[in-house]
Structure formats: C-alpha cells, structure tokens
Amino acid sequence: MNLRQHGGVESIPGLEDPFALLLSAIRQQRLPQSLLLGGEAGLGKRLLAEALAARLLCEALDKDTLRPCGVCASCHLLASDSHPDFLLLEPLEAGKVINIEQVREASEFLQLRPQHAPRRVLLLAPAEAMPPAAANAFLKTLEEPGPHGNILLVSHALGRLLPTIRSRCSQIRLVPPDAGQLSAWLQAQSNLDARTAADLARYSLGRPLRSLEWIEQDILRLRREWLDAWLKLPRQSPAAALSLAAQWAREKALSNLLLTVHTVVIDILRLRLGASSPIINDDFGEPLSRLASRVAIHPLIDFETQWRQIHVARDRNLNLTLVLESLGLAWRDPALWSGAAFQQPEEM
Ligand SMILES: [Zn+2]
C-alpha cells in the first residue's frame, strides 16, 4: 500500500482513536495478551495490528512517542520479514482456510522464549479463515499463550468466529470514519478532485484502505460503466440482459461489480423510502430516482435475496454466465418496475 501522506497508521481516518487507546495500554503496561481487531475489510485493521506488533517487538522503543526505533536488530528483522519472534498466521493461499497444522505450529511458536525481542507476537488474519477444528485447536493457544506471547487477531466477520474465541480476547471494533474526513484524506492520497473523492468515500462504504486499492485498480471508471449499463437495462430487451451477462462473466473485478449492483438496490430502496442523506451513487441520482419512482418493493426485496445468494456462492464453481443471466433477467422483469407511487396513509 502506497500511502502518500503516510504519517504512520494514526494518520488513516478512523484509526486515530483505536491507535491512541492501544498506545496508552502499552504505556501503562496493560495491553491484553490476546487482542481481537474487528470490523469491515478495508478499514485498516491489519495495518493497525502490524503497527502494534512493531512496537511490541522493538528492543529500544521510544519511551515518549512509543515509536519503534527503526535501527535495532528486531526492527531490521521485522522490516525484512525474517523476525524469529514474529509469526503471521494466514491462509497459505488467498481465500483458503487456515489449517490445523498451521495452528499447532503457531501454538509451539508462542511457547518458545523470544530470541531478540522482549515478546513473541502472533498475528492471525483473518481469524474467520479457521474452520471449526482449527478454531478449537486455537482456543487452547488463547488459553495458554505462554509467558512471552502476544496474540493479535484480525477479523472482517466477528459473527463467524466461535463465541469462545471472541470471549477470550479483548476486542476493539473499528468503524468507518466521518465521510468528509475520509474524502479529504483520499484527495491528499491521490489526484482525485473533491467530487470524485466524495463519490469514492460513499461507494467504498467509508473504508479508507479499500478506497485506495480501488483508485489503484481504476475501479471508479469501471463502476461508471457498470452503472450506465445496469441502470439502462430495465428499459431494454431480454436479449440485452443476456448480452450484458456474457460481457460481465469475463469481468475480473467481479466482486466490485456485484457490490455495485447491490449499492443500486440500497439506493433505490432508500430513495423510495424517502431517505434524505446522500445515496451511495449520488452521481447517478437522476436515473436512480426515475427507477425508484417505478419500483415495486416486494420484487425488489426478492431481487436482493437472489443477489445475496449469488454473492455468498460466488467463489464456488458456478456457471457465472448463467447466474448473471438470471440476475439480469430478474432486473429487467417488468414486474419489478410496476410499483405505483406510495399512498400516504389515510388520517385516522
Ligand atoms: Zn527497534
């Protein structure tokens, strides 16, 4: 991650308070041995955990600023990804599980005496990648992390963790920062103008690091193309839905594409229910308002359910073209756009 104005992890919007809380715990020597950082993916939990690990491992931590010295053997080893007192426990392949063997190795790692640093630090990310057997094995590690061990867990889905894992850790839950603060920060990090930065802040649902990734991947341009095609589709023929599905099945940024479809559903629902705050795709306000005035609520909720099933199953071996065809056909189904304007409730 290339942070232009990188003044440390505390400069990332939304991380200031949790970071200050953690520093104060280190200062008072009451940092919990097992810490769980939760919240949506893309808020910066992993960077926060890494910043904390660097402080726990440094042999000459600055007493006042609590910054790692950057020159001790520990700091050098950590920077070169070869610190014997630091272990990153993560899936061996992206999107796969953390297996029970990896958990056992991590448990042994924590029991050993530190070689350089004052502590041994295990960073586990994401914790929900442990299937039940591995999670159960990990519980023992949480119960006995060893006299020198610190465990940092990162989770994008706290609800998917075993309750016993959650209850054995101190939790810090990250939340999205203020939208204005995020969009100002995004402008400082990139060449975005104010309007585009604000669009991105809403579209990323307030997630700073996810926003930066999307700038690098040019997702905003793709988003506009997807929205153009998707918002036109209800006026087009079934053949247009099939042709769009064939095109989208080749899309590399599929999860973003599906997210975009979902933001449209949320926006239309909010417009239909008379929400006043800016919608996610505020830059497409006009076509979205037109659709919102025609939408039938129950079919829209059915559509959302269909979207959710696809989203959950997207990593399995689906016939993607077929799935996208059925989503596109459902979206241009006249029944979805047969809603009458809301009737005001009659006065009693
Ligand atoms: Zn150091």
pLDDT tens per residue across span 111-145: 999 999 999 999 999 999 999 999 999 999 999 99
Residue 194 lies inside a defined structural domain of this protein:
no
Q: Are residues 150 and 253 in the same domain?
A: no
Domain boundary among 135, 156, 173: 173
Q: Are residues 142 and 255 in the same domain?
A: no
Domain boundary among 138, 173, 208: 173
Q: With cut-offs at 50, 70 and 90, classify the pLDDT of residue 48.
A: very high
* Cα of 205 from ligand 1 centre, angstroms: 36
Check residue 348 and give its pLDDT. 44
Q: Are residues 156 and 49 in the same domain?
A: yes
> pLDDT tens digits, residue range 181-198?
999 999 999 989 999 999
Q: Are residues 66 and 148 in the same domain?
A: yes
Q: Are residues 51 and 132 in the same domain?
A: yes
For 237, phi then psi, to 5°, come to: -80, 165
> pLDDT tens digits, residue range 70-112?
999 999 999 999 999 999 999 999 889 999 999 999 999 999 9
Q: Are residues 169 and 38 in the same domain?
A: yes
Q: Are residues 131 and 240 in the same domain?
A: no
* Cα of 171 from ligand 1 centre, angstroms: 27
* Cα of 74 from ligand 1 centre, angstroms: 6
User: Considering its fold, how many domains does the chain have in total?
Assistant: 2
Residue 67 lies inside a defined structural domain of this protein:
yes
Q: How many CB atoms lie within 10 A of CB 188?
A: 13
Question: Which pair of tokens denotes residue 141?
Answer: 């590690």
* Cα of 155 from ligand 1 centre, angstroms: 27
> pLDDT tens digits, residue range 252-307?
999 899 999 999 999 999 999 888 778 999 999 999 999 999 999 999 999 999 99
Residue 278 lies inside a defined structural domain of this protein:
yes
* Cα of 57 from ligand 1 centre, angstroms: 7
* Cα of 303 from ligand 1 centre, angstroms: 54
* Cα of 58 from ligand 1 centre, angstroms: 4
HSE-CB at 324 with a 13 A cutoff on CA atoms is 24
Q: Which amino acid is at 146?
A: G
Strands 170-173 and 86-89: what pairing?
Answer: unpaired
Q: With cut-offs at 50, 70 and 90, classify the pLDDT of residue 343.
A: very low
* Cα of 73 from ligand 1 centre, angstroms: 7
**Structural domain for 147, as ranges:** 31-173
Check residue 344 and give its pLDDT. 46
What mean pLDDT, rounded, does the chain reach?
A: 92
Q: List Cβ neighbours of 226 (8 Å cut-off, separation of 6 or more).
A: 248, 257, 260, 261
CA dist., res. 121 & res. 124, Å (int): 10
Q: Note the residue count of the chain.
A: 348
* Cα of 25 from ligand 1 centre, angstroms: 19
Q: Are residues 41 and 146 in the same domain?
A: yes
Q: Are residues 159 and 229 in the same domain?
A: no
* Cα of 3 from ligand 1 centre, angstroms: 22
Check residue 183 and give its pLDDT. 96
Sheet bearing 120-124, strands edge to edge = 86-89, 120-124, 149-155, 34-38, 170-173
* Cα of 75 from ligand 1 centre, angstroms: 4
* Cα of 122 from ligand 1 centre, angstroms: 18
Q: Are residues 117 and 62 in the same domain?
A: yes
HSE-CB at 208 with a 13 A cutoff on CA atoms is 34
Residue 8 lies inside a defined structural domain of this protein:
no
Residue 25 lies inside a defined structural domain of this protein:
no
Residue 184 lies inside a defined structural domain of this protein:
no
Q: To 5 degrees, how large is the angle CA 222–CA 255–CA 226?
A: 30
Check residue 103 and give its pLDDT. 97
Torsion sign (Cα): 292, 295, 297, 299: negative
* Cα of 83 from ligand 1 centre, angstroms: 12
* Cα of 341 from ligand 1 centre, angstroms: 65
CA dist., res. 273 & res. 133, Å (int): 45
Q: Are residues 148 and 269 in the same domain?
A: no
Check residue 7 and give its pLDDT. 56
Q: What is the CATH number of the domain that holds 67?
A: 3.40.50.300
* Cα of 110 from ligand 1 centre, angstroms: 20
In this predicted structure, the answer to whether residue 239 has a pLDDT above a threshold of 50 is: yes
* Cα of 67 from ligand 1 centre, angstroms: 8
* Cα of 335 from ligand 1 centre, angstroms: 64
* Cα of 30 from ligand 1 centre, angstroms: 20
* Cα of 69 from ligand 1 centre, angstroms: 4
Check residue 10 and give its pLDDT. 85
Residue 191 lies inside a defined structural domain of this protein:
no
Check residue 153 and give its pLDDT. 98
* Cα of 56 from ligand 1 centre, angstroms: 9
Check residue 341 and give its pLDDT. 55
Question: Which pair of tokens denotes residue 86?
Answer: 């630091």
Q: Are residues 224 and 168 in the same domain?
A: no
* Cα of 77 from ligand 1 centre, angstroms: 10
% of the chain with per-residue pLDDT over 70: 95
Contact by Cβ (8 Å): 128, 157: yes
* Cα of 210 from ligand 1 centre, angstroms: 30
What pTM value is reported for the model? 0.84
Q: List Cβ neighbours of 19 (8 Å cut-off, separation of 6 or more).
A: 9, 10, 48, 51
Residues 308-317, mean pLDDT to the nearest whole number: 78
* Cα of 86 from ligand 1 centre, angstroms: 14
Residue 236 lies inside a defined structural domain of this protein:
yes
Contact by Cβ (8 Å): 139, 168: yes
Check residue 1 and give its pLDDT. 47
* Cα of 126 from ligand 1 centre, angstroms: 27
In this predicted structure, the answer to whether residue 204 has a pLDDT above a threshold of 60 is: yes
